[in-house]
Structure 1
Amino acid sequence: MTENERVPAERKRRRPTSSGVVLSADLIVDTARELIDTQGAQAFTVRKLGAALGADPSAVYRYFRNTEELLLALADRLIGESMVGFAPSGDWAADLRDFALRAYRSALRHPQIAAFSTVRVTGRPHEQHAVETGIGLLLQAGFDDAHAVRHYHALVDTALGHAALDAGVLRLAPAQRAADERAWQAEYGSLPAGEYPVLHRVRDHLPVMAGSAVESALDLLIAALRSAAPE
């Protein structure tokens, strides 16, 4: 029997596991998140998940047809968390900035998960609601249907692209991150003016390169959208 032929997800296990825990889809997603946060996505297996749940690994397939479905549910959970408390203010540009930063920050809270969640389409309710909201803000700004979708695409890819990049930095060893941060001041800041006149001129500003550019990128994009919005 293949994973896709297993018992459908809607059939629930009601008996407690050997550890006395009653399984649920939410519990499985929560436990998977904890495992990936601590061990990384590459080390994640359903066998480890079963052990953490105190259940036979096959019990997971009563709720999720395969590992792919579970990981997409986990990615969708992060999108849902990013939207908690989001309340449009009526200023579509400010709301878009908040919307995008929420997606970015939700991914950064789980950098190990961001390795896959930022590049997938979940097709699930939380993502559907987020896309509905984001495109709706651009329609509110007066853009036509085609431009609203194109601009939403640019916005969300900017936020999630930076999330993937910055999550990669967070997955580096602390010594690696520290060395990269020092390089902007030590190596780049001491380059000779004769050979590197531009870098020598801006040397005092180069340490900013060690941080995230997500807010600057979003501000530039949203300023462009403000300028392009129909009167």
Structure 2
Amino acid sequence: MTDRVVPPAARRRRRPTKAGVVLTEELIVDTAMRLLKEHGADALTVRRLGRALGADPTALYRYFRDTDDLLLAIADELIGRTLSVWRPTGVWRADLWDLGLRMHAGALAHPQASVLSAYRVTGRVHEIEAVETILGVLRRAGFPDREAVRIYHAFVDQALAFAALDAANASLPRTAREAETEVWRTTYARLPAETHPNIAATARHLVADMRHGSYPVALGLLLSAAAARLAEVKGPTDAGR
């Protein structure tokens, strides 16, 4: 899309397209996410979207200024889908553990969309809800406001960084992923202890571990560090609640 703007009053008319489709922002976002999943980043063009929707491509400008505006909506939709399946329990550490894993899983379900949008700040409804919710979890746990913001920042950046990393890996062709995994067995596991003592000593663990993502381990370490910090603030008895 180009940077074309349609006045708000002219947007979102509910007339069907020539194919009988009534365009909505939700339908456009869903279709864009499907095209990204099936065809990669090159699919995110106004022409291909219009074709997939059975609509004149210019009709999309009634909903989004350009592809970047659409990308922000996709990023916000990924957040909204995660929030819709997350059920807080009131135990801060368990809640952030569950939310982090769901954020990661949601990214892997739409790897191309995640790679393109994980680093963006949308300022949209679902992102605002997520910021409010996570800060609320931390503040209710007893973190002072400054600490709550710092831990929120680390939690979200860690989740998004791992989401982008693992989603990029998931976007590779299967043969490429398998070839990279094999490097740990065919190269690292064969290095001699005389020249690479640390790799040789841990080779079997490297072969077993490096084929899997490390986000759960990193998330656990982050939450443990946060709990230790909370213990300093509140005392060890209440830190895990």
TM-score by length of 1: 0.95
Moved over 6 A (4+): none
* Equivalent AA in structure 2 for residue 173 of structure 1: P
Q: Please give the secondary structure, in 2, of the residue aligned with 1:210.
A: coil
- CA deviation string 1:152-196 (max 9, x = no partner): 110111111111111111111211111111111221111111111
* Equivalent AA in structure 2 for residue 152 of structure 1: Y
- Matching of residues 53-202 of structure 1 within 5 Å: 53-202=53-202
* Equivalent AA in structure 2 for residue 91 of structure 1: V
- CA deviation string 1:110-169 (max 9, x = no partner): 111111211001110101001111111111221111110111110111111111111111
Change (3 A) 1:104 1:83: same
- CA deviation string 1:46-78 (max 9, x = no partner): 111001111110100111222221111111011
The aligned counterpart of 1:223 is: 224
Percent identical across equivalent pairs? Answer: 50
Aligned residues: 230
The aligned counterpart of 2:238 is: none
Residues 17 and 54 in structure 1, CA contact (< 8 A), matched pair in contact too:
yes
Following superposition, the deviation at residue 99 of structure 1 comes to 1.4
Following superposition, the deviation at residue 85 of structure 1 comes to 2.9
The aligned counterpart of 1:16 is: 16
Q: How much is the aligned-residue C-alpha RMSD, in angstroms?
A: 1.5
Unaligned runs of 5+ in 2: 235-241
Q: Structure 1 CA distance, aligned partners of 2:89 and 2:25?
A: 34
Following superposition, the deviation at residue 4 of structure 1 comes to 4.5
TM-score by length of 2: 0.91
Q: Please give the secondary structure, in 2, of the residue aligned with 1:120.
A: coil
* Equivalent AA in structure 1 for residue 225 of structure 2: A
Unaligned runs of 5+ in 1: none
The aligned counterpart of 1:51 is: 51
The aligned counterpart of 1:5 is: 5
Following superposition, the deviation at residue 10 of structure 1 comes to 7.3
* Equivalent AA in structure 1 for residue 201 of structure 2: R
